[in-house]
Structures are given as C-alpha cells and as structure tokens.
Amino acid sequence: MNKEEDSFGIMFFTLFVINLTYNTKFMNKLFLLFAVFLFSFNNMKAQCVPDFLFTSLGIPGVYPPEVQLPNVQLPLGISDGLVGSAYSQTLTLVVLEDTTMDVASLLDPSIVTAMNTAGISTMMSLDVNYVIFDVDGLPNGINYICDQGNCQYNSGIDGCILFDGIPTQSGTFPVSVNMTINVQIPAITIPIVGTIISPSMPMDLPSFSAVEYDLSINNLTSLSDEEDSGFNLFPNPVINTTTLYLRDEADVRIYNVLGEVVSSYSSVRNNLRISKSDLGLGMFYVSINTFDEKYAIKLIIK
C-alpha cells in the first residue's frame, strides 16, 4: 500500500469512528427519551385497574354502587379514611354503548316541528361516542386520577378512577361522580321523499351525577381520652381482621346492608376481634350497646 492509499484508509477509518460515536450518542439520547416517555406513559396509565367483579356484570355504571342492584349482591360504598393516613380507593367504570331517549329537548324547535309534521318520532336510539367523568366533593388532601386521559372513555370501554392522597380534614363528605355523555344523533330524513331535515351530529347530553358516595374521614383517638365515645374500631376498612376496642362492657350486633343481624355478642369486655372469614366482603354496621349509651359505626371489609 502506498502513502496515498494509506492516508485515505486512515481518513476513512477516522470518519467511520466519528460517525459511529455520533450515532451512538444519538441513539443513547433517543433511548433515554423513549425510556422517559415509556415511564411517564405507564405511570399515567397504571394508577388503577378495573375490578373484574364489576366489569363482568356488563351493566353500565360506576362501581362499587352505593345501593344494591336488584338480584345482585355486591360490595357497597367506598372505604372510610383517617386524617393523616394514606387513602386509596378504586372505582370501576363500565361505559354504555348506546341509549334510547327523547331528543326533542336537544334539537332546534323548528326541527322538532318538522319531525312532528312528517310523523317522525322524537324517541330515538342513539350511539354513544364517549363519556367524560369528573368528581366533586373530595376532602382536602385527596385527589383523583383516571386511567384514560382527561377521564374520557370511548363507547363500551371499561376504565377506573383512583382516589388517592392523605386527607387533612375529618368529617363526612358527599362525593359525586359525574358523567357527560356525547351521543351521535342520526340524520333525520322525511320518509319516501328523502328530504333531510337535520344531518347526523354529535351532541353532549346535560351532565348528571352517576353516583354519590358518603366518604367518612375520621380522627383516630385514644381510648384513654375522657372525651372519646368509649370505643374504637381499627383498622377500618379492613382486609382480614379488625378489632373493636371497648372501654365499657357492651352488647355488640353486626348488621349487613339489608338490616339483617349477621353476628351477635353479649357482655363483651375490653376488645372483640371481627374476622372477614365470619362476615365476608362488603359494608356492615356495628351496633354497640352499653348500659346507658348506644352507638353505631360503619365497617368496610374488602
């Protein structure tokens, strides 16, 4: 190899190394950006998971329900929380695909008049394009996030809302989960003649509350406090076992949401262990009767 060929070879190799180094840096940056995007995307999407117990019903709505559905036994309501303690509650969303309604209130009066004249019913079957959810009434410290951007769900899509945070105030809060449904009004055509009175168009139905929960946030007090009520149930909500701590001897009865007594204990002293294996899942009411007082507290078993 002569000097000219040798110089050319060195130059080619140098350019190759520079190009490889540049491309490597570029690929590293590209990979880093992709990793950040993937993490952010997963972080936004993986906040909650719809509960199969509710999605398998195939009944549109927000779950868990606040009242029992006919002929369907389901866990009711949402968990209580404690001031200063982490709170987490998942709601499952089953989005409807279509609906039937009278569209007269949605259309221009002139269109309704033309429909009446042509003998066209204003009661129509409408396809649902999407549903947007929002939540009102959460106490300070608790926020909500959906597993879909802007809490917008296309027709027939299951989803979820996560309540999450550390509550900073106690009390009972009416929490409303609202829905705005966007429907597709079909083209309205005069029969036989074929004249189009109104083209097909999307339209938002008035927003309404799909469900309203009572969210109780409690202060955890000591049994030695002279101003307390004389009992404490902790933990609540519970996954396996909870304990009712009593200052005074009491008779204890546990009711289900139908008002039926599912457990009864007489002359209980000090504490009483309550187990999921004895009661099952759902919401219960624990009635505490002392010599001169009567109390009731809601118990959630997950």
Q: What is the pLDDT of residues 71-96, one digit of tens each?
A: 777 888 888 888 888 889 999 999 98
Report for 75-79, 191-195, 209-213, 258-262: range of highest mean pLDDT: 209-213
Q: Range(s) for CATH 2.60.40.3080 in the chain?
A: 221-301
The region of weakest confidence among 9-13, 48-52, 141-145, 261-265 is 9-13
For the domain spanning 221-301, the CATH number is: 2.60.40.3080
Give the residue from 151, 133, 142 showing the smallest Cα distance to 173.
142
Counting other chains too, the contacts that 286-290 makes at CB distance below 8 Å and 24 or more residues apart are 286/233, 286/244, 286/252, 286/253, 286/254, 287/252, 287/253, 287/254, 287/255, 288/231, 288/244, 288/246, 288/250, 288/251, 288/252, 289/250, 289/251, 289/252, 289/253, 290/230, 290/248, 290/249, 290/250
